[in-house]
Amino acid sequence: LAAQTPPLAPDETTGDDGIVVTGKTQPHAGNAAFDQARNLSRVDRPYEQALARFERPVCPGIFGLEADYAAAMIDRVRDNAARAKAPLAKERCSPNLVIAFVDNGQSLLGKLEREQPELFSRVAASERSELLRGARPVRVLSNVATRRANGAPLARYRGREVQPAVRGRSISESFFLPTRRDIETALVVFDREAVRGMTLVQLADYATMRGLTHTRPASSDVPLQTILSLFEDDAAAPP
> For residue 163, what are the contacts with CB-CB under 8 A and spacing of at least 6?
146, 154, 179
Mean pLDDT of 103-108: 95
Q: What pLDDT, on a 0 to 100 scale, did the predictor assign at position 100?
A: 97
What stretches of the chain adopt beta strand conformation (E)?
52-53, 60-63, 97-102, 138-148, 156-157, 160-161, 179-191
Over residues 140-162, mean pLDDT: 77
Query: Could you give the CA distance from residue 74 to residue 158 in angstroms, rounded to a whole number?
Result: 43
pLDDT winner (highest mean) among 35-49, 123-137, 219-233 = 123-137
Work out the mean pLDDT of the chain and round it to a whole number.
78
pLDDT at 28: 46
- Whether 1 has a pLDDT exceeding 50, the answer reads no
* Residues in a beta bridge with 63: 100
52 pLDDT above the threshold of 70: yes
Name the H helices within the chain.
29-40, 67-83, 105-115, 125-132, 200-212
> Sorting pLDDT into bands at 50, 70 and 90, what band is 175?
low
CA distances from 132 to 107, 128, 183 (A): 8, 6, 20
**How far apart, in Å, are the Cα atoms of 199 and each of 56, 238, 239?**
29, 11, 8
| Of 12-26, 54-68, 85-99, 181-195, minimum mean pLDDT range | 12-26
Beta pairing, strands 60-63 & 97-102: parallel
Is pLDDT at 95 greater than 70 in this prediction?
A: yes
Give the pLDDT confidence score for residue 171 in this predicted structure: 44
Between 216 and 37, name the one with better pLDDT.
Answer: 216
How far is 215 from 207, CA to CA, in rounded Å? 11
- pLDDT at residue 169 greater than cutoff 70: no
| 172 pLDDT more than 50 | no
Mean pLDDT calculated for residue range 215-231: 70
Q: What's the burial of 131, exposed, middle or buried (CB within 10 Å: 0-12/13-18/19+)?
A: buried
Query: For residue 117, is pLDDT > 70?
Result: yes
d(CA 152, CA 179): 9
Q: At 151, which amino acid appears?
A: G
CA 57 to chain centre: 17
Residue 114 exposure: Cα atoms within 13 Å on the Cβ side: 7
Give the integer Cα–Cα distance in Å for 76 and 166.
38
Phi (first) and psi of residue 173, to 5 degrees:
-75, -25
